[in-house]
């Protein structure tokens, strides 16, 4: 299997897994079937959508490939039947969610790189793709977006992007740089989940507003 088609398969696995866990969370908040489908779509496809709108990279992925939207909706609706299975396979889904984070990050870097944007924007594009789906999900669920606060979520995206683009800049073979970055990000994320690692908080608590 070529590098490109392997990434494509990983992307499809990731959006399906993100849609299913988002559907589970939305369903537990008392949303109806329609709300569950909206939350699943926004979580799975929102990061890439925000990135493409900010970079004027049209048409959006799911507009060009409406089958992605189909996969996400089928995955979300299947949660009605599969919820007990997902809960039992919690570890698998946490792994797939971590895989999604690094896959989305690498794809986001690739999109900005192909547009010949500066390195800082390439890294930012990876982070936006990796994290914005979860931020939008939290906003629509009426929660303060906590994703980038917990278990190094955004930090993993940053490190994945830095290692990937750093390796590429230093002339490392593309596939090696990509796999190293994704492997490192994945391990870091899984360790952070296991040990409950957080980023240091911000200490100042003086009076302001």
Cβ atoms 18, 97 nearer than 8 A: yes
Instruction: Establish if 195 lies at the interface with a second copy (CB under 8 A).
Output: no
166-176: burial string, b at 16+ Cβ within 10 Å, e else:
ebbeeebeeee
Positive or negative torsion for Cα 60, 179, 156, 168 = negative
Instruction: Establish if 114 lies at the interface with a second copy (CB under 8 A).
Output: no
Complex with a second copy: residue 10 or 52, whichever CB lies closer: 52
- Report the nearest approach of a second copy to the CB of residue 76 (Å): 10
Give the CA distances from residue 27 to residues 9, 19, 82, 113, 132, in Å, rounded to whole numbers and listed in that order. 27, 12, 12, 37, 20
- Report the nearest approach of a second copy to the CB of residue 174 (Å): 23
Instruction: Establish if 19 lies at the interface with a second copy (CB under 8 A).
Output: no
Instruction: Establish if 85 lies at the interface with a second copy (CB under 8 A).
Output: no
3-state secondary structure of 170: coil
Instruction: Establish if 171 lies at the interface with a second copy (CB under 8 A).
Output: no
- Report the nearest approach of a second copy to the CB of residue 26 (Å): 7
- Report the nearest approach of a second copy to the CB of residue 148 (Å): 5
Cβ atoms 154, 147 nearer than 8 A: yes
Instruction: Establish if 3 lies at the interface with a second copy (CB under 8 A).
Output: no
The residues, any chain, with a CB within 8 Å of residue 127's CB and separated by 6 or more, are 105, 108, 154, 157, 158, 161
Binding site for a second copy (CB under 8 A): 21, 23-28, 30-36, 38, 49, 53-56, 58-60, 62-63, 66, 69-70, 79-80, 83-84, 86-87, 90, 117-118, 120-121, 124, 135, 139-145, 148-149, 154-155, 198-209
């Amino acid at each position: 299997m070529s590098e490109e088609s392997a990434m494509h398969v990983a992307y499809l696995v990731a959006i399906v897994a993100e849609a299913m866990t988002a559907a589970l969370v939305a369903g537990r908040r008392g949303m109806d079937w329609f709300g569950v489908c909206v939350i699943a779509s926004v979580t799975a496809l929102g990061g890439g959508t925000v990135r493409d709108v900010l970079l004027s990279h049209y048409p959006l992925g799911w507009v060009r490939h409406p089958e992605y939207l189909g996969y996400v909706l089928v995955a979300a609706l299947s949660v009605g039947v599969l919820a007990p299975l997902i809960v039992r396979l919690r570890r698998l889904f946490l792994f797939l969610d971590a895989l999604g984070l690094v896959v989305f990050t690498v794809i986001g870097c690739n999109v900005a790189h192909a547009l010949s944007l500066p390195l800082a924007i390439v890294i930012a594009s990876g982070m936006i793709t990796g994290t914005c789906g979860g931020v939008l999900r939290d906003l629509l669920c009426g929660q303060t977006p906590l994703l980038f606060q917990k278990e190094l979520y955004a930090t993993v995206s940053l490190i994945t992007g830095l290692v990937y683009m750093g390796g590429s800049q230093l002339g490392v073979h593309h596939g090696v740089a990509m796999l190293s970055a994704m492997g490192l990000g994945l391990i870091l994320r899984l360790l952070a989940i296991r040990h409950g690692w957080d980023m240091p908080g911000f200490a100042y608590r003086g009076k302001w507003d």
